[in-house]
Structure 1
Amino acid sequence: MATPMTASTFLDALHAEGVTIAETGNWQTHNRAGHGAWGPVNGVMIHHTAGTSGIVDYCYNGSAALPGPLCHGVIDKQGTVHLVGNGRANHAGGGDPRVLDAVIAESYGDRPPAPHQHEGSAGAVDGNARFYGFECVNLGDGHDPWPDAQLEAIERVAAAICRHHGWSAKSVIGHLEWSDWKSDPRGFDMHDMRARVDKRLGHTAAPAPTKPKPTAQKYEPFPGPAWFTTGRKSPIVAAMHDRLVAVGCNHYQSSKNKDVIGPGDVASYEAWQRKCGYSGSAASWPPGPTTWAKLHVPNS
């Protein structure tokens, strides 16, 4: 058992392990305090997202049914770890106490005991209190690839946390090893990942080779049509609102709560799509990639 790291200690540990980091919002203080315990911590849990669009924003904010943060970090396919929370996060849910005991003791063989509990079952224990959680961008269909950069980032993140707390790689598990309802991560084997972490822990922490920093994008990339759901709150929505007003497609009743998608966004964006030459159903909500690119929504 261990006391959870502070935000600054967590950041230092990741940097020391050579993790490429992007900090999101007020991640240092963003958590589910007041909704259950955070700590003592016992391990690291790996998940897949089952989607690829707007993931960082979603994991930061969550939803009405499951408020964010939904993990501590999102690991994208390029190997960047987007920090979205520090403290209790809604990622693990209920799981098997035998698995927790095996992780605490680091006493199992290749794999923890098979779980027979899940969120809401009679014998489940609260994993949100005990595990650092990382969502990895992948469809989770068994076909979506896991790039080497992403797998290396998972390895480095897990090793950084284990190194700080003095844990072995047996403190790193997948969500499917915690709950009998879960199948993530799918597409790589957690036993193999633990072997990678174990090998890394046998060496002094070493930063990854320096890579040239990518040029910052001037405009917000298209987040995908499924991202544009009524009620979604994001700085991207506010930036879109301002651009629609600027290009003369203002169908808003007011600018109050302009960072939340509502009927004014629908009407204004449809006006923009008509201004771009679309008509009929082709001009209807949600936004498409071509008109989004032309709108030049500034990067938030």
Structure 2
Amino acid sequence: MSAQAFLPVDLHCHSVFSDGVLTPAELAERAHANGVRLWALTDHDEVSGLSQARAHAQDRGMTFVDGVEISVTWAGHTVHVVGLGINPAHPGLRASLHAMRVGRQARARAIGDRLADLGFAHAYDGALPFAANPELVSRTHFARFLVQQGHCADLGEAFRRYLGDGKPAFVPTRWASLTQAVEWIRQAGGKAIIAHPGRYDLDDTRSHALFSQFQDLGGVGIEVLTGSHTAQEYAIYAQVARRYGFQVSCGSDFHGPSEGRIDLGGLPPLPAGLVPVWQEWL
């Protein structure tokens, strides 16, 4: 039986400090109620919610891991790298993430302009109330605005029609490089993990290039069990982890109670024969 079976783990979720809908305290309560024993908060390019999350996790007897999810531009694709076990007070990490958030603000205003051109007036102002952190207005916040206004039935439709890569309101941007993201995480004492690799539209050649470069830079693992993967992809990326000798992580990628396929703590045990990234935190 795997370590996950003995210790329910969720090492990827988001709070109102990025694009989630619950506070860190509310996430801690939900994780505990769902049986999670080892939990990480991994907001996008932001660590301000970690102290609150840690305090509430400890109050409920959960082991907490400080995390972050960094947006990366690699070979023309957006890839996400999760950092686990970081020191959120590391000055280099904090300065780098702040610079990332400044870029996000400019992109958000450009998305609002594109949606306005498509006939959705005041889209930027409409997205703002969904973002507790005005530095991190994201596509998800615009999607919630479109759903609230009745323009789309759900977030998935908003991305498929307007906000997804290459869609009419999509605004390309240059995030951190893979080298930078891994370096920031490692300098802050953390482990770098490729988030939900099944989400990226990469053929076998490019996937191999990504995994090999990531490993050469000091990245240690990939997410195998994630709310962004299907059951078939669990098996595929378990094989990838074995092939490259990656440690493996799991996380629901939970954003809110009515969003996504998996609730906090709702993932199955790890497949056999894999090395969990969290073994040193047990």
TM-score normalized by the length of structure 1 = 0.28
TM-score normalized by the length of structure 2 = 0.29
Query: Relative contact order, CA 8 A, sep 6+: which one is greater?
Result: 2
Larger gyration radius, structure 1 or structure 2: 1
